[in-house]
Amino acid sequence: MTTTGRLDHRPPTPRGLNATLWTLQWALALVFVGGGVWKLITPAAQIAEVFPWVGQTPLALLYATSGLDVLGGLGVLLPSLTRITPQLTVLAALGCAVLQACAVAFHLFRGETDVAFNVVLLVLSVAVAWGRRTKAPVTART
């Protein structure tokens, strides 16, 4: 006898995919939180030596993007790690992707073509969002 109802369980997640997603989440968290904190605590003049746009735009842009970096980095990792509302990881990863898409557009608009790192972060963020949403979601603590 066959049933036509929807199955209430998901197939097991491939271990390699889950391990890859955890690795990406940790890497994104380190890059976003580390970079964001560095930009928040380092004097703007010193940052402008590395990133010229900092000296050519309002400081509010630096602080806003740095704060978003920290929040996004924490959001990509902590909800899954604690298993408290782990679906927030997907939203945080999408937020990081949007932030990087905006960074790419910003730099290209300014005539700066060195956006490879931003593109890599964009792709990795989308990969985490997709993987944690569709292929290897983390289940919430019960």
Is the model more confident about 130 or about 14?
A: 130
Distance between CA atoms of 79 and 115, rounded to whole angstroms?
29
Distance between CA atoms of 82 and 32, rounded to whole angstroms?
19
**Average pLDDT estimate for 74-102:** 98
Local confidence band at 5 (pLDDT 50, 70, 90 cut-offs): low
Task: Tell me the chain's radius of gyration from C-alpha atoms.
Answer: 18
- Residue 142: the pLDDT is 84
Of all residues in the chain, the percent with pLDDT exceeding 70 is: 91
pTM of the model: 0.89
Give 87: exposed, middle or buried? Use CB within 10 Å, 0-12, 13-18, 19+. middle
Local confidence band at 124 (pLDDT 50, 70, 90 cut-offs): very high
